[in-house]
A and B are shown apart, each in its own frame.
Chain A
């Protein structure tokens, strides 16, 4: 596999520099350069945005580069092309919430218990008409949308092993960010990002006196930390008038998506547009789809897995694996 004299690596294709004994060095080099130029052209044609607006791009680029900065330890979100990963996700299943359960009603989490002001929610039509034995499941009042069901939460004390435990149950649960029941917004992820990105920029201006992309790197990081702590809704002098535009959105929910998607763009297969040249995998030491012989290393997976120290291989990507499986290079 390895070519005599070494190899130039561009994108995911290895180009042999010196193969034929009688070929002229000059023509080999020229050939390689032209291949490189073609590859670059190919890459450039796939490097673009399909969902993010130019305004959003200007904001999101420094955001992802704040979350995974390029620093002395190595490349970051910028080199990995994280923004292209996020852009494509926003334009596809993730952004369209294609695999999410999005049906109404949309009731937010974190509603505290209240017996004086209970949550009242109408039952579904199916509920009203479902024939079940002896009215066991009918809501109080006989069912139907005219008779909403009340929820008040409350405090209960349970005794176990002689020790009492008092538990406070809110009207709705208080899930951690990123939990499957935490996102209860009536909009899909693309709309959530659109609204939240604009609110982030507004907050940056109000709290730190300028657009996010103009802030010092310390203030950029602080701005994102503020999202995690929901400061745009609580911090003074940022007033409670909530003019940042987050409104009913918890900023920490957006902070979660930003951080989650940035790391995903750094570490997921290059086929999704991020982790370019597998730089993310190189950084964390993940071998990708190299099972020990992707480049002719001749290692067996069974040996690798019972070793008492890990083996760093040059990572391979899903596309490379598929090309090899299909009998290609």
Chain B
């Protein structure tokens, strides 16, 4: 067996090396601090790892050869605390349940690049809803409601958004209206435009743009369409850290076709934006293929002293540090804390409908139910040939049906929030993703032989040469935090090293469905105006009807920030309350500031949440700098405690 290898102590230890650790590691290393980043996977190199083998839908998109290996660690899921949670056994399309990241860049090696901001409303959803619709409104529409404001307002986060967008080469244009007038929906949101222009617009995007510009939104104002915001560089760029960014080449192997791996580095993630600068500084040590399994606490239990990990050869390492930043994927972050006895575990009492503790509390979903109320129609515009385009550019979006940008009084069934509505993005997925990976099916009333036989086969002929396009939406309103949805440790299943895996207890909240019932008719009006034919509104799906098709890569929450010790865990500086030197920000979708603050499922990127986590990583970096300064001046030696 192994002996424990003692690593030299450093100023900052980054747990996981994805988007969030990329910012923290780079900011601190450039400030002259010694930083170690530890990740369970490799350091992906887009030239050597992707440029010849990624055009392989079976191996990448379905076999996940660049992703997290499930035999190493999976997760279990259930809808309700009365159930046995089934483990996720395999990767499937649509992507379900499990985090995708493995190695430097993490889950952001595998996303489409949607990167809009969360607006002001999202940060104050609880208080603004109470002001507008009454103090009891949220709890009346959301059973066992657990919604809370963020500790900071949007205005306080805005400078961090700017830094994030400059570092990661975000494309878009905040001037979207015909007049670029101050009454644009965007103007309170952004102090400065995106660093790069948007991607070229498709004909369908143009039609959507011209149509909505002539329409009145529910707020009584004209719609103001904006180009979809993308984290895929539209032009060559050098970021604030001096890292060179290549532009997108639009080859279309950008979505389910290749699980989003990017062979040019145009797609933003830590491996191609921040970590190169951290390494160049000489102050950053990258540890790859290293699986962190515990945080070692001080004897008093109130400080983190070291991270323990297995290396690829089975050795155990002990990495001490002054500050620990947890930049793991959301439920891995929670799992590591629970395994280490760090923080107060969230315990749900189903009989009483109450919950105590914070770590794991408030799991939410940032995506539409797999089976939800929908609307579709057909427009007489051909699509691009397959494959072409990229995963997040080419379309236009409106914000008027989002957040509290329209009056929610007297809508039945009642809900709060809304969604971004966009159209015109590039078609791009591969034949597997569309034809069978989205779910081959058995016989049904509309498809008597299922995905079998000549009749079904004929529907696939020339499918990738679309001369008309189906346009539609399965809208949803924010999934609100409740006491019922949470992350804890599974009592039955373990990872490859014998430690319990995470267990997710989650069911959709009624707000998602009730919002869809309203939004679907607003979108229908737009489709009608676009001249779409065969516009059909699907039947309304009742709350709690789509239990376990979760799109789990869009789950977030379970460790929220906030100043209320019962409702929130990390403080406003992103430091865990009571553990001043452990800093956390969430990775895509899940983390401490996500859940209770439904906010990160609102705004211009409701689904991913990465862009809401991004500013928090800058906030954490700033907090860590202050903390190290404090330690330096006060002479506190936590390692001795």
Contacts and interface: CB of A to CB of B under 8 A. Distances in A.
Interface string B341-352: 100110100000
Interface string B322-356: 00000000000000001101001101000000000
A224 B451 CA distance: 11
A232 interface: no
B56 A267 contact: no
A312 B388 CA distance: 12
Contact of A286 (B98, B202, B430, B493): B430
Contacts of B625: none
Main secondary structure of the interface of B (DSSP, over half): loop
A167 B536 CA distance: 28
Nearest to A163: B413
A161 B71 CA distance: 43
Interface string A133-146: 10011010000000
Interface stretch (A5-13, A44-52, A63-71, A240-248): A63-71
Given A165-B510, A181-B77, A267-B436, A127 B87 contact: no
B64 A99 contact: yes
B623 interface: no
B58 A268 contact: yes
A259 B78 CA distance: 27
A306 B382 CA distance: 10
Given A107-B86, A173-B78, A269-B58, A283 B250 contact: no
A289 interface: yes
Given A161-B412, A221-B452, A285-B386, A302 B200 contact: yes
Interface string B26-59: 0000000000000000000000000111011110
A283 B202 CA distance: 26
B494 interface: yes
Interface in A169-198: 169-181, 183-184
A184 B510 contact: no
B385 to A, nearest CB: 4
Contacts of B491: 123-124, 127, 137, 139, 149
Nearest to B451: A259
A95 interface: no
Interface in B134-160: 140-143
Contact of A160 (B63, B142, B339): B142
Contacts, number: 328
Interface string B228-263: 000000000000000000000111100000000000
A177 B442 contact: yes
Nearest to B370: A176
A66 B345 CA distance: 54
Interface stretch (A20-28, A32-40, A150-158, A201-209): A150-158
Interface string A69-82: 10101101000000
Interface in B200-237: 200-203
Nearest to A307: B384
B141 A107 contact: no
Contacts of A125: 498
B313 interface: no
Interface string A216-257: 000001001100110000000000000000000000100110
Given A285-B386, A309-B382, A161 B202 contact: no
B181 to A, nearest CB: 28
B429 to A, nearest CB: 10
A283 B140 CA distance: 53
A29 interface: no
Contacts of B90: 97, 99-101, 180, 183
Interface in B445-484: 449-454, 457-458, 460-467
Nearest to B439: A178
B381 interface: yes
A304 B384 contact: yes
Nearest to B144: A158
Contacts of B457: 68-69, 71, 73, 76
A307 B489 CA distance: 51
Contacts of A67: 451-453
A17 interface: no
B81 to A, nearest CB: 9
Interface of A: 66-69, 71, 73-74, 76, 93-94, 97-103, 105, 107, 109, 111, 113, 119, 121-127, 130-133, 136-137, 139, 149, 151-154, 156, 158-163, 165, 167, 169-181, 183-184, 221, 224-225, 228-229, 252, 255-256, 259-260, 263-264, 267-269, 271-272, 280-281, 283-287, 289, 291, 301-302, 304-313, 318, 321-322, 325
18 contacts: A68-B457, A76-B457, A99-B90, A101-B493, A137-B345, A154-B80, A154-B82, A160-B142, A167-B80, A170-B83, A173-B548, A180-B90, A180-B92, A183-B89, A184-B89, A271-B56, A286-B430, A310-B385
